[in-house]
Structure 1
């Protein structure tokens, strides 16, 4: 037997989404998807998103900055991957640029050097220098570090 589908009034949806956005910064795309999952009609979605924006529960610039800082500091993602992920979430070019300014160049270089050395040491059992180079380059590229940085570091670490 199927359970009845829960329906929400606009006021209930506002309260639920206020809590959803207060828990963690969200982008417009996530909020709109959540409202569609709640089976809200497009007009109601616009009303709820307008309410969240007006009361500062939803702020894409704040989301983009927090996302960039968090992914860089906790997952050691490079600017390329952060940019790609923010674009997937529909973040504007202005907010994307602002978010990337949250990452300081000195810290960026330090994290890149630490991450590449750590991965190089993990590859110590690899005897073929070309496979070692490829594995190191693939790892750093996947994490979103710029190609020129990656290939310079690979040449430096695996002569």
Structure 2
């Protein structure tokens, strides 16, 4: 669908006002509206001037939402931010504000729920399934092993050799 520059600006401003957006998502949408590169640059510049578009604000919101609602780990969140071309200099300080306890608390919560439904022939198999589940959610291996050991007891290290 081909839009004129003023129409696109109005639509994209509404799009940005409904939820936090990153520059990558906005540019993708503008390209889909068949705007020229120059028009896209002018629109993005104007959105930034009028504070409709701010990547650091987007990152704060994104990290908070993915941690609290989706129960994602740091690795998965970083992967998704990199997919959106967000610079490490933007998201790194925001991750420093989030304490490691937040990630551990979320991981313990999802593991305790998942542990009720995981079936295994023995403890080793059950722990392995829980570890794979948590790694898929984007949590680090050391945090996962720590939480699985807390939850199910024992020491997973003895199985690794």
Return the TM-score normalized by structure 2: 0.87
Counterpart contact for 1:80–1:145, Cα < 8 Å: yes
Does residue 114 of the first structure (1) align with residue 109 of the second (2)? yes
Residue in structure 1 matched with residue 22 of structure 2 by the alignment: 27
Residue 99 (structure 1) aligned with residue 94 (structure 2): yes
Q: What does residue range 75-154 of structure 1 map to in structure 2 within 5 Å?
A: 75-123=70-118, 125-154=119-148
5+ residue gaps, structure 1: 1-5
Q: CA deviation at 1:137?
A: 0.7
Alignment of 1:3-14 (within 5 A): 6-14=1-9
| Preserved contact between residue 141 and residue 150 of structure 1 (Cα < 8 Å) | yes
Q: Deviation string for 1:5-30 (max 9, x for gaps)?
A: x4211111110100010011111111
| Distance (Å, rounded) in 2 between the aligned partners of 1:102 and 1:21 | 25
**TM-score with structure 1 length normalisation?**
0.88
- Per-residue deviation at 1:153? 2.8
Q: How far apart are the structure 1 equivalents of 2:98 and 2:121?
A: 36
Deviations for 1:68-108, whole angstroms, at most 9, x for unmatched residues? 00000001111111111111111111211133245333332
How far apart, in 2, do the equivalents of 1:102 and 1:120 lie?
30
Over aligned residues, Cα RMSD in angstroms? 1.6
- Looking at structure 2, the residues matched to 158 and 106 of structure 1 have their Cα atoms a distance apart, in angstroms, of 20
Match of 1:3 in 2: none
Q: Which runs of 4+ in 1 moved over 3 A?
A: none
The alignment status of 1:56 with 2:51, answered yes or no, reads: yes
Asked if the contact 1:80/1:144 (under 8 Å) is kept, the reply is yes
**Is residue 25–residue 63 contact of structure 1 (8 Å, CA) maintained in 2?**
yes
> Is 1:45 the counterpart of 2:74 in the alignment?
no
* Number of residue pairs the alignment of both structures matches: 153
